[in-house]
């Protein structure tokens, strides 16, 4: 098949080009994960990769963190604004982490390389990694309190050339290394991005050489259109209408008020609009959410109710979706608002929209999920004095679905994985004392919400700084259609000891050797009245220790024989 003599883009050619481009994005993702240095990338999967065409359209994204998706087209445009395509050579790597140029928060470093077929630029490959640290007031750079503007939050890079024709620009790498707490992990991850870009640019160039750029471009145009049509086709089958939903974040630090989140979802023909005008203004903390991050999870929702995982994500599927939030809103903060604490919002955006969509497409959504906890510990190892940043995830569960129970202990939206405790203990001065499901935490319902998780971590070093980052200590995960809310989460310092104290969900706290912090994710919401749950299922929950006999009686009216 060649490009000469007209471009043949029948459906079969489209399938071949589409499949190969998606596979290149996956191959990049695998390279990045294998080469990475930090736990959140190599074990947790907090990164993404994508393939763009020469005009800057995103053709395929790997099935990784959706957070970066909404941002990528914007990021690539800004990079090309600073470094026009004609100034790029094979082996170049351009990076940026400026939140307002698309990254969303400073720890997310985007990197891009051009792909060439011989001396012709045929497209771009992009990688994004959540770096372990980027400076700022607390280890891991995600402190919410005591931060009021973005400059406090760490090192900010506008579009910057980091590799020139394969050679590192030493002074920039040194600059980054000098401004972060764990330069080995950070620079190691950047090298992993370079590895992924090398793999992607090489493959993309070869694919163009083999298939012909005109064929690839024409096929890409075709599958973007078909992807868009697939989304529109699903939307058309849904009755037109508008629905709104309100949820609240607990607050943005001790002594602060709740943040009211409101979304209006409108389905009109084959168009889907998400409007966040009713949401509170931006906060004087790092808990704010850029429009690009908001968009990323709006796209997540659009895909979850239409094409799901039947086709890989690409720009065509974003076309039917419009996202609006007024400037100065919590979801569209203006400079110099701080932003690094936004990680806990991924599922909250989805839940807000699912709440509204439950009134339109109840069978395609789930009740609210257990809030994940994203604590970061930092300090020095007692024996070696080596600086460590211990970045952890504790995943709650998933809310009940329209016709089945929720899930215990798995993230509701993102594709990150639990980091093995054996790996965490080998690399950080900590001991995990408990890692268990929390009985009775799932919201009761005809379909029960997933259980939350408890993880207790003991410090083996003095002077450790913990930035807690979680929510739903005050506002619980909602149930739907008569299902109960999930049980609230909490963070407890030294549980059971005389010094026991409840920690705030966004508290920054200094810990000493022997201190234990117990993270308890909130439970997920249920669906349908608990009274309609079959007795046998309640008894099975009791038998499996997911529901106690007392709660079986109280919530379900089932007495355990």
Touching another protein, residues 3-22 (CB under 8 A)? 10-12, 14-16, 18-20
Q: Give the DSSP letter of residue 70.
A: T
Give the residue with the Cβ less far from another protein, 237 or 334: 237
Which one of 156, 248, 401, 473 is in contact with another protein (CB under 8 A)?
Answer: 401
Give the residue with the Cβ less far from another protein, 176 or 311: 311
Taken as a whole, the chain contains a residue count of 561
Give the residue with the Cβ less far from another protein, 193 or 286: 193
Q: CB of residue 137 vs another protein: minimum separation in angstroms?
A: 25
Q: CB of residue 81 vs another protein: minimum separation in angstroms?
A: 28
Q: Is 130 helix (H, G, I), strand (E, B) or coil?
A: strand
Site for another protein in 525-554 (CB under 8 A): 543-546
Q: CB of residue 525 vs another protein: minimum separation in angstroms?
A: 14
Q: Give the DSSP letter of residue 436.
A: E
Q: CB of residue 456 vs another protein: minimum separation in angstroms?
A: 7
Produce one character per residue of 28-66: b if its CB has 16 or more CB atoms within 10 Å, e if not.
bbebbbebbbbbbbbbbbbbbbbbbbbebbbbbbbbbbb
Q: Which residues lie below 8 Å from residue 3, measured CB to CB, with a gap of 6+?
A: 211, 212, 213, 214, 215
Interface with another protein: number of residues (CB under 8 A): 90
Mark residues 340-379: x for contact with another protein by CB under 8 A, - for none. Answer: ------------------------xxx-------------
User: Which structure tokens are listed for 327?
Assistant: 């400037």
Q: CB of residue 533 vs another protein: minimum separation in angstroms?
A: 18
Q: Are 112 and 79 in contact (CB under 8 A)?
A: yes
Q: CB of residue 354 vs another protein: minimum separation in angstroms?
A: 8
Site for another protein in 476-535 (CB under 8 A): none
Which one of 229, 242, 273, 548 is in contact with another protein (CB under 8 A)?
Answer: 229
Q: Is 4 helix (H, G, I), strand (E, B) or coil?
A: coil
* Angle between helix 535-543 and helix 549-556 axes, rounded to 10 deg: 160
Site for another protein in 152-181 (CB under 8 A): 166
Q: CB of residue 328 vs another protein: minimum separation in angstroms?
A: 31
Rounded to the nearest 5 degrees, what angle is found at the Cα of 70, between the Cα atoms of 78 and 10? 95
Q: CB of residue 83 vs another protein: minimum separation in angstroms?
A: 21
* Strand stretches in 341-445, DSSP E: 376-380, 387-391, 430-437
Give the residue with the Cβ less far from another protein, 184 or 462: 184
Distance CA 107, CA 129 (A): 8
Distance CA 490, CA 189 (A): 32
Candidates 235-243, 252-260, 288-296, 414-422 — which segment interacts with another protein by CB under 8 A?
A: 414-422
Q: CB of residue 335 vs another protein: minimum separation in angstroms?
A: 32
Which one of 54, 169, 432, 509 is in contact with another protein (CB under 8 A)?
Answer: 432
230 binds another protein (CB under 8 A): yes
Backbone angles phi, psi at 28, to 5 degrees: -60, -45
Candidates 95-103, 147-155, 184-192, 463-471 — which segment interacts with another protein by CB under 8 A?
A: 184-192
Distance CA 452, CA 463 (A): 29
Site for another protein in 237-266 (CB under 8 A): none
Give the residue with the Cβ less far from another protein, 84 or 309: 309
Which residues face 262 on adjacent strands? 246
Indicate the helix (H) or strand (E) that contains 126.
strand 120-130
Site for another protein in 30-59 (CB under 8 A): 30-31, 33-37, 39, 41-43, 45
Which one of 184, 221, 381, 462 is in contact with another protein (CB under 8 A)?
Answer: 184
How many CA atoms are closer than 13 Å to the CA of 173, on its beta-carbon side? 16
**Taking the chain, what is the end-to-end CA distance rounded to the nearest angstrom?**
71
Which one of 3, 7, 380, 410 is in contact with another protein (CB under 8 A)?
Answer: 410
Give the residue with the Cβ less far from another protein, 310 or 335: 310
Site for another protein in 434-463 (CB under 8 A): 434-437, 453, 456
Q: Give the DSSP letter of residue 19.
A: H
Give the residue with the Cβ less far from another protein, 130 or 401: 401
Candidates 286-294, 324-332, 405-413, 489-497 — which segment interacts with another protein by CB under 8 A?
A: 405-413
Torsion, Cα of 103, 82, 312, 33 (10° steps): -60
Mark residues 188-217: x for contact with another protein by CB under 8 A, - for none. Answer: x--xx-xx--xx--xx------x-------
Site for another protein in 308-327 (CB under 8 A): 308-311
Distance of CA 536 to the CA centre of its chain: 37
422 binds another protein (CB under 8 A): yes
Site for another protein in 88-147 (CB under 8 A): none
Q: For residue 488, how many other CB atoms are within 10 A of its CB?
A: 18
Q: CB of residue 22 vs another protein: minimum separation in angstroms?
A: 8
Q: CB of residue 43 vs another protein: minimum separation in angstroms?
A: 6
Candidates 220-228, 238-246, 337-345, 461-469 — which segment interacts with another protein by CB under 8 A?
A: 220-228
Least Cα distance to 381 among 493, 434, 494, 459 occurs for 459
Distance of CA 13 to the CA centre of its chain: 33
Q: Which residues lie below 8 Å from residue 172, measured CB to CB, with a gap of 6+?
A: 160, 161, 162
Whether the upstream peptide bond of residue 336 has omega within 30° of 0, thus cis, is yes
Which residues face 466 on adjacent strands? 377, 509
383 binds another protein (CB under 8 A): no
């Amino acid at each position: 098949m060649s490009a000469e003599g007209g471009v043949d883009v029948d459906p079969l050619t489209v399938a071949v080009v589409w499949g190969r481009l998606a596979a290149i994005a996956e191959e990049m993702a695998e390279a990045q994960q294998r080469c990475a240095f930090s736990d959140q990338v190599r074990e947790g999967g907090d990164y993404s990769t994508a393939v763009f065409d020469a005009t800057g359209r995103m053709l395929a994204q790997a099935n990784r963190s959706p957070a970066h998706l909404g941002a990528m087209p914007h990021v690539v445009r800004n990079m090309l604004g600073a470094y026009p395509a004609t100034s790029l050579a094979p082996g170049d790597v351009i990076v940026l982490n400026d939140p307002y140029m698309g990254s969303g928060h400073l720890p997310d470093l985007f990197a891009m390389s051009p792909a060439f077929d011989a001396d012709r630029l045929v497209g771009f490959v992009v990688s994004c990694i959540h770096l372990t640290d980027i400076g700022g007031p607390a280890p891991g750079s995600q402190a919410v309190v005591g931060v009021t503007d973005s400059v406090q939050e760490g090192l900010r890079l506008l579009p910057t050339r980091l590799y020139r024709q394969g050679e590192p620009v030493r002074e920039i790498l040194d600059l980054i290394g000098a401004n972060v707490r764990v330069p080995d992990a950070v620079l190691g991850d950047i090298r992993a991005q370079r590895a992924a870009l090398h793999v992607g640019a090489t493959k993309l160039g070869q694919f163009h050489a083999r298939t012909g750029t005109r064929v690839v471009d024409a096929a890409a145009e075709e599958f973007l259109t078909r992807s868009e049509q697939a989304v529109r086709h699903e939307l058309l089958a849904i009755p037109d209408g508008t629905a709104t939903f309100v949820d609240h974040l607990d607050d943005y630090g001790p002594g602060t008020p709740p943040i009211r989140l409101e979304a209006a979802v409108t389905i009109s023909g084959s168009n889907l609009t998400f409007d966040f005008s009713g949401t509170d203004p931006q906060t004087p903390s790092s808990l704010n959410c850029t429009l690009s991050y908001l968009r990323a999870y709006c796209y997540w929702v659009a895909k979850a109710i239409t094409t799901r995982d039947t086709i890989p994500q690409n720009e065509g599927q974003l076309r039917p979706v419009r996202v609006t939030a007024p400037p100065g809103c919590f979801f569209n903060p203006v400079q110099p608002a701080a932003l690094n604490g936004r990680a806990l919002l991924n599922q909250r955006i989805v839940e807000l929209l699912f709440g509204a969509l439950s009134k339109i497409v109840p069978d395609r959504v789930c009740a609210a999920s257990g809030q994940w906890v994203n604590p970061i510990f930092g300090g020095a190892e007692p024996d070696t004095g080596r600086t460590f940043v211990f970045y952890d995830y504790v995943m709650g569960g998933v809310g009940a679905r329209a016709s089945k129970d929720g899930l215990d202990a798995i993230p509701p939206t993102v594709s990150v994985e639990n980091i093995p405790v054996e790996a965490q203990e080998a690399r950080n001065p900590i001991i995990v004392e408990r890692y268990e499901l929390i009985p009775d935490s799932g919201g009761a319902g005809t379909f029960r919400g997933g259980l939350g998780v408890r993880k207790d971590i003991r410090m083996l070093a003095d002077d450790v700084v913990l930035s807690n980052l979680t929510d739903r200590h005050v506002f619980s995960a909602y149930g739907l259609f008569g299902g109960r809310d999930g049980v609230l989460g909490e963070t407890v310092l030294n549980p059971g000891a005389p010094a026991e104290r409840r920690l705030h969900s966004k508290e920054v706290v200094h810990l000493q050797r022997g201190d234990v912090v117990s993270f308890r994710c909130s439970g997920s919401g249920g669906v349908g009245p608990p009274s309609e749950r079959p007795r046998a299922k309640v008894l099975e929950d009791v038998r499996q220790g997911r529901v106690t006999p007392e709660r079986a009686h109280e919530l379900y009216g089932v007495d355990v024989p």
